[in-house]
Structure 1
Amino acid sequence: MATDLTKEAQQILNENFQAGGYTIPCKGLYPFQWKWDSGFIALGFAHYDMEKAKAEMKTLLDAQWDNGFIPHIVFHQKSDTYFPGPDFHQAELHPLSNKDYPSTGMTQPPVLGFTLEKMYQIAQNKEDVLQFIIENIGKVYDNHNYFYSKRDPQNEGLVYIYHNWESGTDNSPLWDDIWATMDPPTYTFERKDTKLIDPSERPSNREYDHYLYIIDIAKEHNYDDQKIAELSPFLVQDPLFNAMLIKSNQAMIDLYKIIGGNEDKIAQLEKWQAKSKASFNSKLYDEELGAYIHYDLRNEKPIRFVSSSSFSPLFAGVPTIKQAATLVNTMMTKFGGDDMYLCASFDPTNERFNPKKYWRGPVWINLNWMLYYGLKDYGYDEIADRVKSDSFELLEKVGFYEYFNPVKAAYDTETKGYGGGNFSWSAALYLDLMNQ
Structure 2
Amino acid sequence: MTFDVAVAARALLEDNWREGDYRGRHYAFSVPSPRSYPWQWYWDSCFHAIVRRRFDPAGARAELETLLAAADLDGFIGHTVLWGHPLDGQRAIRYNIASRADLMTRTIQPPLLAWAWAWAVGDPAREPRIAAHHAWLREHRALEDDGLLWLIQPDESGMDASPKFDHVWGRLAQGLPLFPMLIARNRRLGFDARRIAAAGYPVVCEVLTNVGWSLSEQALRRPSLTGALIERCWDARRGRFADDMRGAARPTPPADRPATWDTLAPLALPDLPDAIAQRLVDEVLRAPGFAAPAVPLPAVALDDPAHSSRETWWGRHRHWRGPSWINSAWFVSLGLRRLGLDAEADAIAARLEAVVAREGFREYYEARLGYGMGAHDFGWSTLLWELVDPAAPPTLA
Give the TM-score category using the shorter length.
0.7 to 0.9
Partner of 1:45: 52
User: Would you tell me which structure has more helix in proportion to its own residues?
Assistant: 1
**What are the Cα deviations for residues 70-94 of structure 1, in whole angstroms up to 9, with x where unaligned?**
100001123778953399644369x
Partner of 2:195: 227
Q: Answer yes or no: is the 8 Å Cα contact 1:291–1:306 preserved in 2.
A: no
**What are the Cα deviations for residues 176-202 of structure 1, in whole angstroms up to 9, with x where unaligned?**
11233x569xxxxxxxxxxxxxxxxxx
Question: Aligned-pair distance for 1:293?
Answer: 1.1
Q: Answer yes or no: is the 8 Å Cα contact 1:71–1:107 preserved in 2.
A: yes
**Moved runs in structure 1, 4+ residues, more than 4 A?**
79-83, 300-303
Question: Aligned-pair distance for 1:242?
Answer: 0.2
Matched residue SS, 1:19: strand
1:419 and 2:374 matched: yes
Which stretches in structure 1 are left out of the alignment for 5+ residues?
Answer: 94-98, 121-128, 185-202, 254-268
**What are the Cα deviations for residues 250-286 of structure 1, in whole angstroms up to 9, with x where unaligned?**
2222xxxxxxxxxxxxxxx22xx2xx32221122112
Name the CA distance, whole Å, in 2 between partners of 1:295 and 1:90.
26
Q: Answer yes or no: is the 8 Å Cα contact 1:293–1:306 preserved in 2.
A: no
Name the CA distance, whole Å, in 1 between partners of 2:291 and 2:331.
20
Partner of 1:433: 387
Name the CA distance, whole Å, in 2 between partners of 1:169 and 1:287.
24
Partner of 2:74: 67
Partner of 2:273: 320
Q: Answer yes or no: is the 8 Å Cα contact 1:358–1:419 preserved in 2.
A: yes
Q: Answer yes or no: is the 8 Å Cα contact 1:314–1:378 preserved in 2.
A: no
Partner of 1:209: 178
Matched residue SS, 1:376: helix
More divergent stretch after superposition (382-391 vs 299-308): 299-308
Q: Structure 1 residues 406, 349: CA separation in 2 closer, same or farther (over 3 Å shift)?
A: same
Q: Answer yes or no: is the 8 Å Cα contact 1:294–1:302 preserved in 2.
A: no
Letter in 2 for 1:371: V
Q: CA RMSD in A?
A: 2.6
Matches within 5 A, 1:149-228: 149-180=139-170, 182=171, 204=175, 207-210=176-179, 212-228=180-196
Name the CA distance, whole Å, in 2 between partners of 1:34 and 1:359.
17
Matches within 5 A, 1:388-403: 388-403=349-364
Matches within 5 A, 1:348-359: 348-356=302-310, 357-359=318-320
**What are the Cα deviations for residues 103-141 of structure 1, in whole angstroms up to 9, with x where unaligned?**
111010011111111114xxxxxxxx56xx566x32222
Q: Answer yes or no: is the 8 Å Cα contact 1:214–1:232 preserved in 2.
A: no
Q: Structure 1 residues 49, 176: CA separation in 2 closer, same or farther (over 3 Å shift)?
A: same
Say how many residue pairs are matched.
371
Question: Which one of the candidate residues 235, 238, 241 is aligned to 1:286?
Answer: 235
Name the CA distance, whole Å, in 2 between partners of 1:116 and 1:46.
10
Matched residue SS, 1:351: coil
Name the structure, 1 or 2, with higher relative contact order (CA <8 Å, separation 6+): 1
Question: Aligned-pair distance for 1:336?
Answer: 4.0
Which stretches in structure 2 are left out of the alignment for 5+ residues?
Answer: 21-27, 311-317, 391-397
Question: Aligned-pair distance for 1:348?
Answer: 1.5
Letter in 1 for 2:178: D
Partner of 1:23: 30
Q: Structure 1 residues 148, 17: CA separation in 2 closer, same or farther (over 3 Å shift)?
A: same
Question: Aligned-pair distance for 1:6?
Answer: 2.3
Question: Aligned-pair distance for 1:420?
Answer: 0.6
Name the CA distance, whole Å, in 1 between partners of 2:125 and 2:214.
20
Question: Aligned-pair distance for 1:248?
Answer: 1.2
More divergent stretch after superposition (80-89 vs 296-305): 80-89
Question: Which one of the candidate residues 295, 315, 334 is aligned to 1:341?
Answer: 295
Name the CA distance, whole Å, in 2 between partners of 1:86 and 1:173.
22
Letter in 2 for 1:118: W
Q: Answer yes or no: is the 8 Å Cα contact 2:196–2:202 preserved in 1.
A: no
Question: Aligned-pair distance for 1:33?
Answer: 0.4
Partner of 2:138: 148
More divergent stretch after superposition (3-12 vs 285-294): 3-12
Question: Aligned-pair distance for 1:362?
Answer: 0.7
Question: Aligned-pair distance for 1:52?
Answer: 1.4
Partner of 2:5: 5
Q: Answer yes or no: is the 8 Å Cα contact 1:243–1:313 preserved in 2.
A: yes
1:106 and 2:104 matched: no
Q: Answer yes or no: is the 8 Å Cα contact 1:355–1:361 preserved in 2.
A: yes
Name the CA distance, whole Å, in 2 between partners of 1:43 and 1:61.
16
Matched residue SS, 1:296: strand
Partner of 1:385: 346
Q: Structure 1 residues 404, 392: CA separation in 2 closer, same or farther (over 3 Å shift)?
A: same
Matched residue SS, 1:85: helix
Q: Answer yes or no: is the 8 Å Cα contact 1:214–1:234 preserved in 2.
A: no
**What are the Cα deviations for residues 301-342 of structure 1, in whole angstroms up to 9, with x where unaligned?**
654332111011110135321111110012211434445332
Matched residue SS, 1:160: coil
Question: Aligned-pair distance for 1:365?
Answer: 0.7
Matched residue SS, 1:22: strand
Name the CA distance, whole Å, in 1 between partners of 2:320 and 2:363.
11
